[in-house]
Amino acid sequence: MTEHDTNTAGSLRQLLRPFLPQAKFAENIGVTQQTISLWLKAGKVPPNKVGLVSLKTGLPKHTLNPDFAAGDVGVEQNA
């Protein structure tokens, strides 16, 4: 993990802090606690879950996954 990855992971953890504990948040969005843990370690939510997490948290997509441009209104699959 690079320094950038560590900073990104910390940023995602800070953003999602109000929605934790992991187990409760995971249940709310239909994934496992282990999945949330992996996202936090990776520092981003995978593209197929960004829309759902954005909807549930009110956080912009680009803050959940930097691969999304600010203002991106693309539709993701909830697979």
Residue 70: its pLDDT value, please?
A: 65
Alpha helices by DSSP H, listed for the chain, are 3-16, 22-29, 33-42, 47-57, 61-64
What are 46-65's pLDDT values in tens digits? 999 999 999 999 999 999 99
Domains, the chain, in order of start with CATH, read 3-64 (1.10.260)
The vertex-38 CA angle with 55 and 6, nearest 5°, equals 100
Q: Mind listing the pLDDT tens digit for each residue in 3-29? A: 344 445 578 889 999 988 889 999 999
**What's the whole-number mean pLDDT along residues 16-45?**
93
- pLDDT range class, residue 68, cuts 50, 70, 90: confident
